[in-house]
Amino acid sequence: MSTENKPDVVVVGSVAFDSVQTSKASHEKLLGGSASYTSVASALFAQTGIVGVVGEDFPQDYVAVFETAGIDMQGLQREKGKTFHWSGVYEEDMNNRRTNCTDLNVFADFNPVIPDAYRTSHYLCLENIAPALQGHVLDQMEKPKFTVLDTMDLWINTARDDLMGVIERVDLLTVNEHEARHLTGKGSLLKAAKKILEMGPKYALIKKGEHGAFLLSKDDILIVPAWPLIEVADPTGAGDTFAGGFIGTLAALGGVNRENLLQALVNATVTAAYTCEAFSVDRLRQIDRAELDARALEFRRMLP
Amino acid sequence: MSTENKPDVVVVGSVAFDSVQTSKASHEKLLGGSASYTSVASALFAQTGIVGVVGEDFPQDYVAVFETAGIDMQGLQREKGKTFHWSGVYEEDMNNRRTNCTDLNVFADFNPVIPDAYRTSHYLCLENIAPALQGHVLDQMEKPKFTVLDTMDLWINTARDDLMGVIERVDLLTVNEHEARHLTGKGSLLKAAKKILEMGPKYALIKKGEHGAFLLSKDDILIVPAWPLIEVADPTGAGDTFAGGFIGTLAALGGVNRENLLQALVNATVTAAYTCEAFSVDRLRQIDRAELDARALEFRRMLP
């Protein structure tokens, strides 16, 4: 494959069916998974390739969603068996959810293979998969300019050594406030973020859901509140979308500096809000770059 | 009294002894009360007069704190009896507190009398006292340019009609997130703020503690995150300080427009953070305007 087909951003993670119930609605087998949200968000800003696995039951309609978003699918494996299926129920306030089932199916044996054309991509987003597999992806890449790593409680509990090994190899670790406290043992989020920097990354990006996010580096802190949403339809994937909007923006702007990081936080916030406005990536895939840029500008104007 | 002694800002509220216990320290009979915090913060920016009541036991040291801050004390009544005494204990995470005692003492019969020189002041901050008394203060003022009203759960529960009557007479209602939900019956803070605007005020200022604040008007929203505090010594009075920094800034800038409101939110955030750095107004009274302005600039630089 020619290097012209090299995506700016490579996203590795899960592609899933999500069955989601909120107090207002319930939907079965929606397009979900961390890599889906992250790549659809990233593709709004930059050429994006997705690396993941689906089963034989993964419908053409969902493939078409990636296609329409302009996402490169060379790294999307199709294996015998069923697609990963997650099912959960949100409480009334949308801040807490209960998982009903996590049927890993083909995702249980996921072995991420990075297509040759992706190996020299500059921006890499390692969404939440086993830390050993995240390390395996890093082994296949030729030193990306900027790597973002996400993780979850499961790996903090069950694969801490592997996780620490991969954390020290990346530029930025992104976790939510609960994971930050769990990983570091620090109650204060600022202390937790400082502790994350001691683990190796140059940046710690702490996501606080409806309360925004902050990005800590050795001698700087950038803070962004959340976009003011009057109604949340479904928050599933908001954090993954945030990561996608963030890394896509950095890739589009062509480098990591203070101004670009601030814009990346703004675009991440706005894309994550779109995700919350509907189930799955339904709202996110309706918008175009002009609409997003307008909202990003409107958002900056709300801030001092 | 000459109008030269007219303060820019008049603050009405409680002056108290606070006995505060945190997981790290415990202090008895500190200078506290909503009017104390608000006026010390406001006085950093504009000429401020305090209206409140203390008992015979109120020490000269605490009078000296107001004096040194440049606060006009014509409206500070000294009555027979003891000063209002509040005592509380914070949980480890500083987000929840338990009240041990609330001895109203002379505050039980507080009848706010506005000194003649204050009646034409342009900025009025009605801190949390009985709504009927807040209305009584408004009756004594000659139409201030901008009035800020604070309240608490007690009055929402026990004096709702009086409270609604005074809310419709002010320009801005400031409440914390819990009070906003309680007052309006809305779970979503944005919906709660919209509902507050329907009650009469042009602005609803919702304080979210460590998550910042937002200011809603009919066709605009301004959002500010909190200053990133690595350690909170004592959050008592942070909300009152926020109100003081806010109204003091508006008075200093001489009017209410979008740019001034944004600067007021920044200064409010920064002054409130100083309050959290020590017990009572101890940190707040150490700082000068230059130090505060430097931190405010630093804060704006952290935001997109």
Q: What is the DSSP string of B163-209?
A: HHHHHTTSSEEEEEHHHHHHHH--SSHHHHHHHHHHTS-SEEEEE-G
Residues of B in contact with A214 (CB under 8 A): 225, 228
What are φ and ψ of residue A188, in 5° steps? Answer: -75, 130
Which residues pair with residue A72 across a beta bridge?
Answer: A49
Q: Contact at 8 Å (CB) between B22 and B234?
A: yes
Strand order of the β-sheet with A97-103 is A26-32, A16-21, A85-90, A97-103
The beta-carbon neighbor of A190 closest among B224, B230, B304 is B230
- Report CA dihedral (B74, B76, B80, B85) to the nearest 10 degrees: -170
- Cβ <8 Å between B92 and A262: no
Exposure string of A222-256, with b = 16+ CB inside 10 Å and e = fewer, is bbbbbbbbeebbbbbbbbbbbbbbbbbbbbbbeeb
Question: Residue B3: pLDDT band by 50, 70, 90 thresholds?
Answer: low
Q: Contact at 8 Å (CB) between A214 and A264?
A: no
pLDDT in tens, B5-60: 799 999 999 999 999 999 999 999 999 999 999 999 999 999 999 999 999 999 99
Distance CA B302, CA B266 (A): 11
- Cβ <8 Å between B263 and A304: yes
Residues of A in contact with B229 (CB under 8 A): 190
Can you say how many angstroms the Cα of residue B281 is from the centroid of all Cα atoms in its chain?
13
- Of B192, B242, B186, the C-alpha closest to B213 is B242
CA distances (Å), B84 to each of A16, A20, B20, B185, B238, in order?
60, 52, 14, 31, 19
Residues of A in contact with B92 (CB under 8 A): 187
Ranges of chain A whose pLDDT falls below 70: 1-4
pLDDT in tens, A88-119: 999 887 878 999 999 999 999 999 999 999 99
Residues 6 or more apart whose CB falls under 8 angstroms from that of A48 comprise: A7, A8, A9, A10, A11, A39, A42, A70, A71, A72, A244, A248
Residues of A in contact with B211 (CB under 8 A): 208, 211-212, 225
Q: Which domain holds residue A89?
A: 3-302
User: What CATH number did the domain enclosing B219 receive?
Assistant: 3.40.1190.20
Question: Residue B2: pLDDT band by 50, 70, 90 thresholds?
Answer: very low
- Write out the two tokens for B111: 């009848």
- Of B226, B89, B76, B99, the C-alpha closest to B152 is B99
- Cβ <8 Å between B230 and A262: no
The beta-carbon neighbor of A190 closest among B92, B228, B266 is B228
CA distance B67 to chain A (A): 32
Question: Does pTM top 0.90 for this prediction?
Answer: yes
- Cβ <8 Å between A190 and B302: no
Distance CA B157, CA B183 (A): 9
- DSSP 8-state code for residue B93: T
Q: What is the pLDDT of residue B42?
A: 98
Report chain B's mean pLDDT, rounded to a whole number: 96
**Number of C-beta neighbours around residue A283 at 10 A:** 17
- Report CA dihedral (B191, B127, B275, B285) to the nearest 10 degrees: 150
- Write out the two tokens for A20: 């989601």
- Of A28, A94, A105, A38, the C-alpha closest to A66 is A38
Q: How many domains does chain B have?
A: 1
Model ipTM?
0.93
pLDDT in tens, B238-254: 999 999 999 999 999 99
